[in-house]
Amino acid sequence: MSFSADLSKFCHKEAPEKTNKIVRGVVIEIANRLISRSPVGDASYWQSPPPAGYVGGHFRHNWQYGFGSAPSTELGGTENDAKARIESQASRESGQHWIVNNTPYAERLELGWSGQALPQGIVGLTELEFPEIVRSVVG
């Protein structure tokens, strides 16, 4: 193969494949950190009793992935399946990737409303770690 053919192969096949693999890996790692840092309601910490039928885990369950546009609905339930769901959906394509939580109290949790959440926030702390996340995925 000639240098020109090698370069063309790298530019049109190998580089995009590697880039897309890295993008997907970064998206999944960001999602994993967001989900892991998300508090699960524990009424023993609360000043007032929980609503009737309350089950913790709704916020953690509601992390959602979108490609090209952000999901705009709140999911029902409390299943602890957000990591697997996002990993199965995460695109390998370059483009706009979204990880969102549409619960009405998401912003309050980010701003320290929960004693279980880290004081740096959930999204804020993950944002600070972005360079480290990319380095760890690139290897």
- Quick: pLDDT tens for 53-107: 777 899 999 999 999 999 999 999 888 899 999 999 998 788 899 999 999 999 9
Question: Does 119 fall in a domain?
Answer: yes
pLDDT value of residue 72 = 97
- Count of structural domains, the chain: 1
Question: Does 44 fall in a domain?
Answer: no
Residue type, 129: E
Question: Does 65 fall in a domain?
Answer: yes
Question: Does 50 fall in a domain?
Answer: no
- Lowest mean pLDDT of 39-53, 76-90, 117-131, name the range: 39-53
Cβ atoms 83, 37 nearer than 8 A: no
- Contact residues for 102 (Cβ-Cβ < 8 A; gap 6+): 62, 64, 71, 72, 73, 74, 75
Question: Does 72 fall in a domain?
Answer: yes
Domain of 128 in residue numbering reads as 3-38+56-138
Q: What is the pTM of this model?
A: 0.84
